[in-house]
Amino acid sequence: MFKCNFHAHSRFDDGTEELESYIQSALTNGFRVFGFSGHAPVNFDSNWNIRSEDLEEYTNTAKALKDKYKDSIEIYVGLETDFYPGCTDWRKKRGIDYTIGAVHFLKNEETGQYMPVDGNRQEFEETLRYGFGGDMESFISAYYGKLREMLLTMPPNIVAHLDVIKKNNENQAYFSEDDEVYRDEVIKTLEVVSLTHTIVEVNTGGISRGYVKEPYPSRWILESCFDMDIPVILSSDCHHPDNIDYYFDEACDLLKSIGFKSQRVLYGDEWRDVAL
Ligand SMILES: [Zn+2]
Ligand SMILES: [Zn+2]
């Protein structure tokens, strides 16, 4: 497998350890390429994003590592960006090589509150109850609708954890993925992914942190990606250097069993397909 990872958090946002620790772990694990994707600053209170005043230090530190290790590993500087009303477009910012676009929050237009999609169980319940009057279908439609809006207005290079709304749905506690409404929302979203030439990530971060037992997105969604010729990329979404390739072998086997032969990665300053 061509070893690489483009989804990583550090002490600059809600991860741990210095950026350089991730590079040392990447080298130990035989990585060819590594990308940092700190949570981009947001214009509301948050304790998991890079603070605006720290952004320059983040990009400068990553850039210095890029130079320091240029003979042993390619390093890219990215951001995991949030899409919400009035969000910043980070795609063309100086020093940013790529973006991973996510919808972690839905704004409640009545209260102005940002309601988490992938919070803990209690936060999820609150979003469902206070944001959608307990109507899971409305929650699902709002989430996937917002993802499509992001793709159509500010398409990132990579779509983050596409079905992260399933994070608290163990044993189908809130909805069934076989439900027609759910499947329609996902398929409509994949059609926009295809149209906008974005990459779907196969994110193992939820497994390493004990939230889910399989990667985002679910196998049937990856099968649809394969049928629609949508490129994928393996991501560990690591918050600690020890997890930079967590569950990669299993996820690689899963992709191969579906029929995928390659993943699309940034390598030699170009997005290209490399063998799994
Ligand atoms: Zn995320
Ligand atoms: Zn992340």
For 90-102, the pLDDT digits (tens) are: 999 999 999 999 9
Beta bridge partner(s), residue 79: 38, 99
Residue 47 CA, ligand 2 centroid: distance in Å: 14
> Mind listing the pLDDT tens digit for each residue in 201-246?
999 999 988 889 999 999 999 999 999 999 999 999 999 999 999 9
Residue 147 CA, ligand 2 centroid: distance in Å: 16
Residue 98 CA, ligand 1 centroid: distance in Å: 15
Residue 14 CA, ligand 2 centroid: distance in Å: 9
| Among the bound ligands, the one closest to the CA of 9 | 2
pLDDT, average across residues 7-29: 98
> Mind listing the pLDDT tens digit for each residue in 121-150?
999 999 999 999 999 999 999 999 999 999
Residue 171 CA, ligand 1 centroid: distance in Å: 22
Residue 36 CA, ligand 1 centroid: distance in Å: 13
Structural domains counted in the chain: 1
CA distance 226 to 212: 23
| Predicted pLDDT at 45 | 87
Peptide bond into 217 cis (omega under 30): yes
Question: Hey, is 266 helix, strand or coil?
Answer: strand
To the nearest whole number, what is the mean pLDDT of the chain?
97
| Among the bound ligands, the one closest to the CA of 15 | 2
Percent of the chain that is helix, strand, coil (3-state, to 5)? 40, 20, 40
Residue 118 CA, ligand 1 centroid: distance in Å: 8
Dihedral sign for Cα atoms in the order 187, 192, 197, 201: negative
pLDDT, average across residues 249-268: 98
**pTM for the full predicted model:** 0.97
pLDDT, average across residues 32-41: 98
Domain CATH code at residue 145: 3.20.20.140
Residue 134, amino acid? G
Q: Report the 3 state secondary structure along 40-56.
A: CCCCCCCCCCCCHHHHH
Residue 36 CA, ligand 2 centroid: distance in Å: 10
- For residue 219, CA distances in Å to 196, 216, 241 come to 22, 8, 27
Residue 150 CA, ligand 1 centroid: distance in Å: 14
User: Could you tell me the residue range of the domain that residue 33 belongs to?
Assistant: 4-275
Residue 202, amino acid? V
CB neighbour list of residue 17: distance below 8 Å, 6 or more residues apart: 10, 11, 240, 241
